[in-house]
Amino acid sequence: MSVHFDRVVTSLGAAARSFFCLNYFFYPFTNTGCYGSIISMTSLEKQNIADFLDLTNDYLSCGYLSEKKVYDFDNTENFIENTQGSKNDDSLEQIALEIKSCQNCQLGSTRKNSVPGEGVTNPLVMVIGEGPGADEDTLGRPFVGKAGQLLDKMLAAINLSRNTNCFIANIVKCRPPNNRDPYPEERAACSFFLHRQILLLNPKIILLVGNVAAQSLLKATEPVGKIRGKFFDYKIENVTIPVLVTYHPSALLHNENYKRPAWEDLKLLRTKIDG
Ligand code: URA
């Protein structure tokens, strides 16, 4: 589920209540002379604070909620084991962190912010675009400019949204200067991240918007106009995911004639989801 302001406020409230309703007492650590706080808190109160800290971490690192962690505060051994264990597993948070510091291609040196993607973690649909533009580069979030607003409207027309049932990502995670198409070596350098995202998200359907996405993921050689309107199989490890290609929303902003076929594609997508 994506980060919701109401969830932040609720968690903040719970954390604040936990802090202020408790008996604090301070004692000196005899040898160091520093002061620590021992707080007689219930496990629920500790969990509320941990939830809030996890939520803040999710917000700062990648912008979507990781699975809620339940801590066993009374069993320190378990807690340490669990924390270490989860480090070895791949996760969306881990991918987002790697993307943030990635310098595997030249886009790493010109970006303001990387844009790993955002949305729910068990999506019906994973939408894949080309790469961040200026607005996305500034905010570190995918599809937030004019094209992104149109994409949100298109998805809403078939009851889809990045807040409830979609994940939005791009072929490359950093902005190509002047919004040029990403070069093949840049797409290749980033495919490692997209591959892992697809595996983790395991969407029911992938929607590719635009030529770059279709060329990169399906190795399509024909333009969107020729390959839209039908499903392809995308095989990744031992999973097969149906893929639909449609026009990029920025193409729709420039050419009215694409709107009708794009709408046909969206209806086809909805039928497949419901089927
Ligand atoms: N265009 C894209 O392909 N992706 C974005 O995130 C924004 C615009």
The pocket around ligand 1, CB under 6 angstroms, is made up of 129-133, 136, 142-143, 147-148, 170
Sorted by where each begins, the domain ranges of the chain are 5-87, 92-274
Question: Band of the pLDDT at 69, cuts 50, 70, 90?
Answer: low
Pairing of strands 118-119, 24-28: unpaired
For residue 212, which atom of ligand 1 is closest to its CA? 3
| pLDDT confidence of residue 49 | 72
What is the average per-residue pLDDT within 167-191?
98
For residue 168, which atom of ligand 1 is closest to its CA? 6
Average pLDDT, the chain: 82
Instruction: Calculate how far, in angstroms, residue 139's C-alpha sits from the geometric centre of ligand 1.
Output: 12
Instruction: Calculate how far, in angstroms, residue 137's C-alpha sits from the geometric centre of ligand 1.
Output: 10
Position 38 pLDDT exceeds 80: no
Q: By percentage, how much of the chain surpasses pLDDT 90?
A: 68
∠ CA 40-68-208, rounded to 5°: 155
The dihedral through the CA atoms of 228, 213, 115, 204 has a sign that is positive
Instruction: Calculate how far, in angstroms, residue 91's C-alpha sits from the geometric centre of ligand 1.
Output: 23
Distances (CA, A) of 223 to 214, 228, 245, 260: 8, 9, 10, 17
Structure-block tokens of residue 238: 């031992």
| pLDDT confidence of residue 77 | 35
Amino acid in the structure at residue 153 = K
* Listed range (62-66, 150-154, 247-251) with the worst mean pLDDT: 62-66
| pLDDT confidence of residue 265 | 98
Q: How does DSSP assign 205-240, residue by residue?
A: EEEEESHHHHHHHH---S-HHHHTTSEEEEEETTEE
For residue 142, which atom of ligand 1 is closest to its CA? 6
| pLDDT confidence of residue 52 | 74
More confident: 50 or 273: 273
What tens digit of pLDDT does each residue of 204-253 get? 999 999 999 999 999 999 999 999 999 999 999 999 999 999 999 999 99
Q: In CATH, what number does 92-274 get?
A: 3.40.470.10
For residue 147, which atom of ligand 1 is closest to its CA? 8
| pLDDT confidence of residue 134 | 98
Residue nearest to atom 7 of ligand 1 (CA): 143
Position 151 pLDDT exceeds 90: yes
Length in residues, the chain: 275
Please, is 231 exposed, middle or buried when counting C-beta atoms within 10 Å of its C-beta (0-12, 13-18, 19+)?
Answer: middle
Instruction: Calculate how far, in angstroms, residue 248's C-alpha sits from the geometric centre of ligand 1.
Output: 9
DSSP three-state, residue 241: strand
Distance between CA atoms of residues 267 and 265, nearest Å: 5
Instruction: Calculate how far, in angstroms, residue 238's C-alpha sits from the geometric centre of ligand 1.
Output: 29
* Listed range (26-35, 52-61, 168-177, 203-212) with the worst mean pLDDT: 26-35
What is the average per-residue pLDDT within 143-152?
98
For residue 170, which atom of ligand 1 is closest to its CA? 4
Distance between CA atoms of residues 250 and 103, nearest Å: 28
Position 153 pLDDT exceeds 90: yes
For residue 129, which atom of ligand 1 is closest to its CA? 3
Instruction: Calculate how far, in angstroms, residue 52's C-alpha sits from the geometric centre of ligand 1.
Output: 31
In whole angstroms, how large is the CA radius of gyration of the chain?
22
| pLDDT confidence of residue 53 | 72
Instruction: Calculate how far, in angstroms, residue 116's C-alpha sits from the geometric centre of ligand 1.
Output: 12
| pLDDT confidence of residue 184 | 97
Distance between CA atoms of residues 208 and 216, nearest Å: 10
Position 106 pLDDT exceeds 50: yes
